[in-house]
Structures are given as structure tokens and as C-alpha cells.
Amino acid sequence: MLKNKMKFKNLKIFFISIIFLNFSFLVNAKSVPESFADLAERLMPSVVNISTTQTVVTNTNPFPFEFPPGSPFEDMFKEFGTPQKRKASALGSGFIIDAKGIVITNNHVIKGAEDIIVRVDDDEEYKAKVIGADPLSDIAVLKIDSTEKFAAVKFGNSDEAKIGDWVIAIGNPFGLGGTVTSGIVSARNRDLGMNRYEDFIQTDASINVGNSGGPLFDMNGDVIGINTAILGREGSIGIGFAIPSNSAKKVVEQLIEFGETKRGWLGVRIQFVTKEIADVEKLDKPRGALVASVADNSPSDKAGIKAGDIILEFNEVLIKEMKELPKIVAQTAVGKNVEVKIWRNGKEISKKIKLGRLETSEDFIEKKPKETTDTEIESLKINVRSIEQKDIEARGLAKNTKGLVITKILNDSPINYLETGNIIIEAQKKTIRTVGDLDIAVKAALKSSERTLLLVIYNNKNQRRYIGVKLN
């Protein structure tokens, strides 16, 4: 009898525990919205439809027939056509962030526009002018030509948006006007290769042609993203991308204040730190941004940054991977003195750098190489030749440049991803002057426990690159 009572007591405790666990889960879980109606009604007056017009010149076909696309005759006979002007139009979306009529949209929505019309709440139409635009971030700021007061929304904190959070998008897809779609944050920190400062929020809220420039709202009604791109060309497939509000805010503030952006500039070309490079540099793991080359007289050059340094920290922000650095530098004030921690020769050291301005900086010289006779490097399955004075002059390299020009690369070469014309200037941190120098470096790498060869090259754009090669 006592045994049965104990069993009943334990069973009772078990069911009570389950009840409490389920209750705890229900309390902590975020409920699915029953409706977005109230939120949408509040936000829609702040979302605008944008239409633009511009003049384009085309040549009429003087012949009574059409040439198929790609035909060699297509371009040949274009010059015989009569130039004609016509008006082209485009549609997009935007949102008001100031009652005075300040509108945010994408740069590609208004690029080249001669006339911009903004329709507010699918009702009144107003002319608008561009205050400032930034192609690198694809953001533009407009001002509605009116003294009226408009309903405005504010930027939220995109860093707080978590994967799985509910969001709604409002915009002008296919010219249909105030259209509301809902979904969740599908992913963070997406990079599509569209520009150098990408950090997109991915969402499955339906975004189509015409949604560009429109807002992505959180459940508080704050803008956490600017809808910018979709995957594919056939319309929404549940994969859309938005510029995070925290990235957009800094650009918007500068465009409003200056009419242009003022981004920080280090003056370095960087690349990913691979496992092979980390092993050779005796770094604990692949992290940071490897300095491939330094621009002459740049902030980094003046501060003593050298090619081969690995930037681990910038202005007290850890650089986990290479792509983080350009965004952080760009968002730092021009002229600011920052501390940069680098990895050099197995040690961490600090440098003080005064940032320049990207928009006024000079780019690296880019010229093509010339090829002559070569010598086979059997261990790497490539052919090379010594660099000559004519190479240096043709490519605008430093007069004292030493190295070997790659003239042939076999398909099964361990560096078959390089290109002929690339110049090997260092191997295992030693300057390469002759074929013998490279052979010695390869043999040393083969004898090492890592069996990794660290090469430094100039690619065909004169960009310095570090290559970690795993040898068999």
C-alpha cells in the first residue's frame, strides 16, 4: 500500500513539473501576431511611392528587319540609326523620417532622374529634389517640395533584430502602391557582392520590383532596414535583402548635413587570413585582415603599417574576419586618431593612425604586364621569368622591385587559381630575386611540419596578395 502511495506521489510530481515547464515555455515564447492591421494603418502614411523620369537616347533601326541578339551585324549597323530621345520612367519606394518631408530611398531608384514625384499615402503627389546620394551604400535622401507637415517614422536598432523576429515591409511593388507584406528575419550579415559595405538583413517578407527603397519595420513600428535587393529576377521567392538601419543612419546623417559622405580611409588593400597563412604567421587561428599592400603616403603608410601585417583590432573593435574592417573604418570620422593592433612577426603591436578620407584618396595604379621567355619550376608546376626593367616601367612598379613573373600555370599546379602575369616577389618572407631563391623556399617549406609555402605576389592589377600554399 505504501509503495503504491509513493508511486502516485511521484507521478503527481512528474505531471506538475510538465505543467510548469509548459507554462514557462508559453510565458517566454513570443506570440504570433493575430493581425498586422493596426501597425500597418499607423505606418502607411509615412511610406511613399516614388516615380522618376529621365531622357534616354536610342538609335532607330533604319532597316526593315532585326538582327538577332549577339549577331556581329548588330553593332555594325547601329551607327546607321537615327538618334532619338525618349522619356524613361522608373518606380520605387521610400519613407519619411522627418515631418518636414525628408525621404529615404535607394540611390538606384533615383539615379539619373530628371524629375522625381513622391506620392504620399497613395493620395497626394509632390515634386522632390535630391539632397544627397551615395552609390557605395545605395542610399539617397530626398526633400519633398512642400511646407506641409508629414507623418514620419524613426530608425530602430537593427543590431537588436534577431533571426526569427517578425517584420513587415511596405512599398510600391510593380506600381501597385501601399502594399504590406509580412515575414521574419531569415538571416543576418549577408554579403551579395554588390558593394564593399554590405551587411544585409535577409527576410522572407515578400519584396518585389518597386519595393526598393521601402522600409522594413519591426513590431514596434521602427525602421530596421531599407529594402534593397531580391534574389533572382522573376519576383519574390521569399529571399529579400535590406540595408540595416544602424549602417544606414550614419550615411543618412552625413548626406543631410553635407550632401555627401565622408568615410574614413586607411590606405591598405586587404585579404582574408586563411588557415595556411595563419599557420605560417604563427597566429592562433584565422582572424583579422591581412594587409596585402599599403598605398604610398596613406595614413597607414605614415603610421608604419607594412604589407604582411594582420590587423586584429581597429579602434577597440576586434576584427573577426576581413570583411568587417572596411565597414568599421568607413563609419569612423575622418581625421580621427585611432589605435590599430596588428600581428607582425609572431607578436601583437599597436599603431596610432590618423584617418584620411576615402572620397578624396588616390587609388592604386593598375597596369598590365608583358611576357617574355621563361623557366620551368617543376615543384610548383609553373613557368617563370625574372622581372625586367620594361615590366617595371609598363606596370608602374617601384624601381627596385624584384621578383619572378609567372608565364605559365599547369592545371594541376597547387597555385592554378593564380594568373599568368602575376609576379612572385616573396616566398617564406624572403625576397625572391632568382629561380634559385624560389626553389630554396619551396624545399624549406617541404621540410617543415606544416608543409606550407607562403608567397607574396603582385596580381595583374598591381595589387599585393599573400598566398598560403599547402604542398603535397
Q: Which residues are designated catalytic? A: 108, 138, 212
Helix-strand-coil percent breakdown of the chain, rounded to 5? 25, 35, 40
Spatial distance between the Cα atoms of 60 and 343, rounded to a whole number of angstroms: 61
Residue 255: count of CB within 10 angstroms of its CB: 22
Q: Kindly compute the dihedral angle of the four CA atoms of residues 268, 269, 273, 274, in this order, to the nearest 10 degrees.
A: -160
Q: Kindly compute the dihedral angle of the four CA atoms of residues 121, 123, 127, 133, in this order, to the nearest 10 degrees.
A: 20
| 356 touches 337 (CB < 8 A) | no
Full DSSP string of 58-111 = EEPP-SSS-PPTT-HHHHHTGGGSPEEEEEEEEEEEEEEEETTTEEEE-HHHHT
For the chain, give the longest Cα–Cα distance.
107
Spatial distance between the Cα atoms of 34 and 19, rounded to a whole number of angstroms: 25
**DSSP single-letter state for residue 281:** T
Helix, strand, or coil (residue 168):
strand
**Amino acid in the structure at residue 244:** P
| Sign for the pseudo-dihedral over CA of 191, 309, 283, 465 | positive
